[in-house]
Amino acid sequence: MNAKVRVLLVDDEESFAVNLSRLLQNRNFEVVTAFDGFQALEAVRSADAFDVAVLDVQMPGMDGTATLKAIKKQSPQTEVIMLTGHATLKSGIQAIRDGAFDYLMKPCDIEDLTTKIREAYDVETIRRHPVLWPRNKVAEIICCAFERLDPDARLAEALEVFKPENGTRTAETAYILDNQDRLLGFITRRDLMEAARETGPEFSLTWNALRENPHWLPPKRLRDVMHTRLFHCRPDERLSDVAHQMISKRFRTMPVVDQGKVVGVVRLQDIFLHLEHEIE
């Protein structure tokens, strides 16, 4: 990425905001911090347009929801990512409806947040307010385009799964299936990062650096590091029920299993976009 992405970081926990700002600056982002909604709006008014705003939901005075609406009114081209330590289905849906690009749960891994900021920057004209129609069942929003990983594959082979889809969206979890498409386990980008740190370079490791240096990964197989405590949903389940499960377990994606076989995945962001009714 040649031009620096301009990020507005808003959080009333000053130590958290300052530390996160430093981490983002180390990853070549240009960051301005604000410690409440009023400071955020002043920054939007007085500075050149921000590409992305990362916004805490719960703040005193002007909360995240009100700040989101005000930012989108003043600067519609700025994509907003909401951060919260107290996620609910209702607040997630409302944030998307109010114009948020995505709604992430704290604590959020810095590499995950970095990827999400870049996706928000890249989306620009791809999606702002899509035409949606009511969808209530998992089967109606299944994403079938996911890659199957073999349990005996080397860790380096999983790197290719975590690549942007159509240049805009990056997989967050990869699923390991047997030769009959039955779910065996899953692995995340964080798992690969931790594996690389065991035998990799002594300096600070980033996801992009690992992608370019797969030899940093130990010669282990996926079955050696995959998570085997499995959660999945069925095509006939209600989106609201699945969303509650995903929020409580802090999952961004969940595999969909029909008659014992994985038929696709469902993403929390898509549920927020498509769910018609707000449910407590």
Task: Write the single-letter amino acid at 48.
Answer: D
For residue 8, what are its two tokens? Answer: 């507005």
Give me the count of residues in the chain. Answer: 280
Is residue 83 predicted with pLDDT exceeding 50? yes
CA distances (Å), origin 148, targets 153, 168, 170, 202, 234:
11, 20, 16, 32, 18
Query: Confidence class of residue 201 from pLDDT cuts 50, 70 and 90?
Result: low
Under a CB-based contact definition with an 8 Å cutoff, are residues 143 and 175 in contact?
no
In CATH, the number for domain 6-123 is 3.40.50.2300
Dist CA 101 CA 121 (whole Å): 10
- Pick the closest to residue 265 from 231, 240, 241 (CA basis): 231
> Which residue has 């979890």 as its token pair?
173
CA distances from 42 to 6, 34, 74 (A): 16, 9, 11
Query: pLDDT at residue 235 above 60?
Result: yes
- DSSP alpha helix (H) spans, the chain: 14-25, 37-46, 64-74, 89-97, 110-123, 155-158, 189-199, 207-212, 222-225, 239-249, 268-274
| Digit-coded pLDDT (tens) for 5-54 | 999 999 999 999 999 999 999 999 999 999 999 999 999 998 778 999 99
Give the pair of three-digit tokens for residue 145: 């385009």
The pairing of strands 261-267 and 253-258 is antiparallel
Determine if the peptide bond prior to 130 is cis (ω within 30°).
no
More confident site: 128 or 195: 195
What's the pLDDT at 224? 92
User: Predicted confidence band at 164 (pLDDT cuts at 50, 70, 90)?
Assistant: low
CA distance 229 to 65: 35
Closest Cα partner for 67 from 49, 88, 47, 82?
82
User: Could you please report the per-residue DSSP string of 224-279?
Assistant: HH-B-----B-TTSBHHHHHHHHHHHT-SEEEEEETTEEEEEEEHHHHHHH--S--
Residue type, 193: M
Distance of alpha carbon 254 from alpha carbon 244, whole angstroms = 12
In tens, the pLDDT along 126-159 reads 444 445 556 788 988 888 666 778 999 999 988 8
Start-to-end CA distance of the chain, whole Å, equals 41
Domains 6-123 and 138-274 share a fold: no
Domain residue ranges in the chain? 6-123, 138-274
Q: Using CA atoms, how far apart are residues 41 and 104, in angstroms rounded to an integer?
A: 21
Q: What is the assigned CATH class of domain 138-274?
A: alpha beta
Cβ atoms of 50 and 21 closer than 8 Å:
no
- State the average pLDDT over residues 190-218: 84
